[in-house]
Chains A and B, each alone.
Chain A
Amino acid sequence: MDPLVISRWQFAITTSYHFLFVPLSIGLGLFVAIMETLYMNKKREVYLRMTKFWGQFFLVSVAMGIVTGIVLEFQFGLNWARFSRYVGDVFGPPLAIESWVAFFLESVFIGVWLYGWKKLPVKLHVFSIWMVTLGAMLSAFWIISANGFMQEPVGYVLRNGRVELVDFPAVIFNPKAHFMFWHTVFACIVTSSFFVIGVCAWHGIRKTVELDFFRRSLRMAVVMGLAAMIAVILLGHFMAKNMAEHQPMKLAAAEAAWETRTDGRLSLFAIIDEASKVNQVDITVPWLLNVLVFDRFTGTIAGMNDIQKEHVLKYGPGDYIPPVTLTYWSFRLMIFSGIAMFFLLVILVVMTFRKQHLLPVWFLWMLLGSMGLPHIANITGWIVTEVGRQPWAVYGLLKTSAGSTLNLDAGTALSSLILYTLIYSLLAFIAGSLIIRQIKKGP
């Protein structure tokens, strides 16, 4: 087996796994911080119980997020040594700054928060949880700044056979990174909203006698979830516009648009034949893509075949088309789950704020089932971002295949892949059963 292929699988698995827990920890951190603040201000016992109950899930997700995050940090050097040497000058500083600005804040304060219930005055204790949340969000900002550079390289020159940083502000004010950051942060809030909603729904089905506790939790999740969901959609719209401008190939792949489109049709369902570069079936809606990308009915979306020709002229011979089926369907799954979540939240807002009305049981079951929706959207969103950028690791500068570690033994690479997969599966099972246990136990 090719060690490059193994490294790619390992990166895909470890990154996706990490991102199952991170959005929960970022979002739940915010929830818990708000709950404890409410407790401090209103001195109501229920808010303290909410802090502690939801805090447990926050802790589990933080623990999983941290240990799987260290793997990612080391992995650049382990499997992607040439990438690390080539972009370290630009890609490294955001990571280093992330560790000082964000990780210290997050990890130092989570310790005091956990062990300081009795040792700290309430104000400082609340302050600690806010610092944890702030740290988590800042860490998202810095890592996405680094990723933004891979999508849209800015602030660099090619010198000494590598990219060198010449304009640091350009890297951290990269518009691409800012759209991605806010899109991600709001998606994290949506993710934990659906978690809270799902847990409340389960206790609704079980008729747990904690009406006040779950009603307050539910209302908070629904309001924050809907606000965040609207933000996610708006930012997604800006990202699509940005993508059309800076990464037309990714947009074309996400639409499975082989030929240049002038009618602005948006594909809903396609059966793609990547080998012959055609779609055997393509059900489309006219104009909609133009509306989404250009805010008007007219416009031209470049097709993959034309962009491929352009890229051959610009970057030399090669295949510049990413895996189309995966990108296309990931994009669909993300958008479909997003739309489903939006409507669920709208219905929920209407229903939960009617007085003393209990939600019907079938609807509660639906909410319980929808806990997975944000995770689907999160992972497929990143697949569009990362797979859609292929064959590039750093767009236009470094191909993924040129970034891997040289002379990495396939057996060694495979054994690490197996090791992570085993440990991660086992942990998924343990963490999953722990979360289910905590849910069942109730507040």
Chain B
Amino acid sequence: MDLPTLWFVIVAYLFAGFLFLEGFDYGVGMLLPFLSREDEHRRMILSSIGGVWDGNEVWMVSAGAVLFASFPAWYATLFSSLYMIFTLILCGLILRGIGLKFRNLREDRFWRSTWDWMICLGSFTAAFFWGVVVGDLLQGVPINDQMVFIGGMKDVFTPFSLVTALAVVVLFLLHGAVYLNIKVSGDVLKRVERVLPVVFFIALIMAAGLLLFGSLKLGMMHTAVEMTFAGLAVVALALCGVSLLRKASLAAFWTSGATIILVGGLVFTHLYPRVLISTLDPRWTLTIYNSSSSPYALKVMSIVALFFIPTTLLYQGWTYWILRKRVEHSDLNY
């Protein structure tokens, strides 16, 4: 494997981790105000991600920084092309992040319910517009030979990118619901169990729509590797449904996570070795070779990554172990 490919894989790994981990955080955030009106219930819902979401969000931050470092031209062109999309993602993340941290710091009802809606809105905004980014990565954007975006909003918001955006939102909703299904208890758990079938059903339809649209419009899944990823994603989602039917909540969580990771894998394998497609001329498409950093810079980072990727994974895993138990009502003294 050459260095740019290795770093493409690392970028994909970080994004997949981000989608998996923040997937349920965003999902929980979006579900929050709809699951219950009672403060105690909402506190339980938020406690399920309270100790871990900061660490999950770092996957996104890290993916962004690693993108900058390993493929500066990809990072610069992607972000500047989708300027408004990323701005809205940032605004969503601000609302959500502040909401999650500030919400419990005051007792009054108005304060708490406002932040609950901000958490919901922020999670939705971030999920939706990351979904638009996924769509735009797949369909390409109008960039010229100078790597400059020369399109407008209509090139960014297309029917396809709206489908990917909704698909991402719904997959995250499902992931959030199956996460709550293993983390909460009592009345809240009952409420989660009630919405799960609905969420699952919508997710199934959206995933099918996404695959169909992607296959017809973009010629995705015409190679064996892409077929494998798509097939496995479908299997994983089906297994998630089966697990839900059998009340195997842990299996439902892992299979829903696997669906997200496999869809992420499908996106990246479809792109490879391209990283940002020019819809104007294939010669202007960014690839891992014309957008990567120098071999020396990549080597330096490879050495650092070799040590830190396993280390971070280890201690982050440890914190999940510490906080592994279901949240009980008696834990809600914070």
Residues of A within 8 A of B (CB): 56, 59-60, 62-64, 66-68, 70-71, 73-74, 76-82, 84-85, 87-93, 95-101, 103-105, 107-112, 114-120, 159-160, 162, 164-166, 168, 405-408, 412-413, 415-416, 419-420, 423, 427, 430-431, 434, 437-438
Q: Establish whether residues B297 and A78, one from each chain, have CB atoms under 8 Å apart when the complex forms.
A: no
Give the docked Cα–Cα distance between A406 and B50 (Å): 40
Cβ-based interface call for B197 (8 A):
no
- Compute how far the CA of A168 lies from the CA of B301 in the bound complex, rounded to whole angstroms: 10
The verdict on B305 contacting chain A, using a C-beta distance below 8 Å, is yes
Check B72–A89 contact: CB distance below 8 A: yes
A108 near B72 (CB under 8 angstroms)? no
Question: 5 other contacts beyond A63-B101, A168-B297, with CB at 8 A cut-off?
Answer: A63-B97, A74-B90, A77-B78, A84-B68, A423-B94
Interface centre among B47, B51, B58 (most CB of A within 10 A): B58
Q: Which of B32-40, B80-88, B228-236, B262-270 binds A?
A: B80-88
Query: Cα distance A431–B68 when bound, in Å?
Result: 31
Q: Is B53 an interface residue (CB 8 A)?
A: yes
B312 interface residue (CB < 8 Å to A) = yes
Residue B322 at the chain A interface, CB threshold 8 Å: yes
Contact with A along B105-129 (1 / 0, CB 8 A): 1100000000000000000000000
Q: Is the CB of A115 within 8 A of B323?
A: yes
CA of A440 to CA of B302 in the docked complex: distance in angstroms?
50
Measured CB to CB, the nearest residue on chain B to A159 is B294
Q: Is the CB of A73 within 8 A of B61?
A: yes
Taking CB atoms and an 8 Å cut-off, the chain B residues in 261-305 that contact chain A are: 293-294, 296-297, 300-301, 304-305
Q: In the complex the two chains form, is B304's CB within 8 Å of A427's CB?
A: no
The answer to whether B319 and A108 have CB atoms under 8 Å apart is yes
Cβ of B65 under 8 Å from chain A: yes
Residues in A whose Cβ lies below 8 Å from that of B162: none
Query: Which B residues between 20 and 74 are near A, CB-CB below 8 angstroms?
Result: 47, 50-55, 57-58, 60-62, 64-66, 68-70, 72-73
Whether B64 lies near A78 (C-beta < 8 A) is no
Asked if B98 is at the interface (CB within 8 A of a chain A CB), the reply is yes
The contact string, 1 if C-beta is below 8 Å from chain A, for chain B 89-100, is 111011101100
Q: Is there contact, CB below 8 Å, between A76 and B106?
A: no
A98 to B50, CA, bound (A): 23
- Chain B residues with Cβ under 8 A from A63's Cβ? 97-98, 101-102
Q: With a CB–CB cut-off of 8 A, which chain A residues contact B90?
A: 70-71, 74
Residues of B within 8 A of A59 (CB): 101, 105
> Which residues of chain A are near B65, meaning CB under 8 Å?
73, 92, 95-96, 98-99
Contact between chains at A111 and B98 (CB < 8 Å) = no
| Contacting residue for B146 out of A62, A76, A406, A408, CB 8 A | A406
Question: Of A59, A89, A90, which is in contact with the most chain B CB atoms at under 10 Å from its CB?
Answer: A89
The complex places the Cα of A162 from the Cα of B102 at a distance, in Å, of 43
- Pairs A-B, 7 closest by C-beta atoms: A88-B72, A77-B79, A92-B69, A115-B51, A63-B101, A96-B69, A108-B55
Which of B147-155, B207-215, B216-224 makes up part of the contact surface?
A: B147-155
Tell me whether A427 and B94 are in contact (CB under 8 A): yes
Query: Closest CB of chain A to B312's CB: distance in Å?
Result: 4
Specify which of A78, A88, A100, A407 is in contact with B73 (CB 8 Å cutoff): A88
Residues on B with beta carbons closer than 8 Å to the beta carbon of A438: 105
* Chain B 235-259 interface residues, beta-carbon cutoff 8 Å to A: none
Bound: A354/B84 CA distance, A: 59
Residues in A whose Cβ lies below 8 Å from that of B146: 406
Give chain B nearest CB distance to A378 CB in angstroms. 22
* Least Cβ–Cβ distance between A85 and chain B, in angstroms: 5
| Shortest distance from the beta carbon of A122 to any chain B beta carbon, whole Å | 14
Determine if B69 and A412 form an interchain contact, defined as CB atoms under 8 angstroms apart.
no
The answer for the CA separation of A11 and B53 in the assembled complex, in Å, is 27
Q: Which of B51, B68, B91, B148 has the most A CB atoms < 10 Å from its CB?
A: B68
Most buried by B among A87, A88, A116: A88
Chain A residues contacting B60 (CB-CB under 8 Å) are 70
Closest to A120 in B: B322
CB contacts (< 8 Å) of B93 on chain A: these are 67, 70
Q: B52 touching A111 by the CB < 8 A rule?
A: yes
Q: What is the chain A residue whose CB lies nearest that of B105? A: A434
B158 contacts A by Cβ under 8 Å: no
Contact with A along B123-162 (1 / 0, CB 8 A): 0000000000000000000000011111000000000000
Residues of B within 8 A of A114 (CB): 50-51, 334
Residues of A within 8 A of B87 (CB): 78, 415-416, 419
Give the Cβ gap from B163 to chain A, nearest Cβ, in Å.
Answer: 24
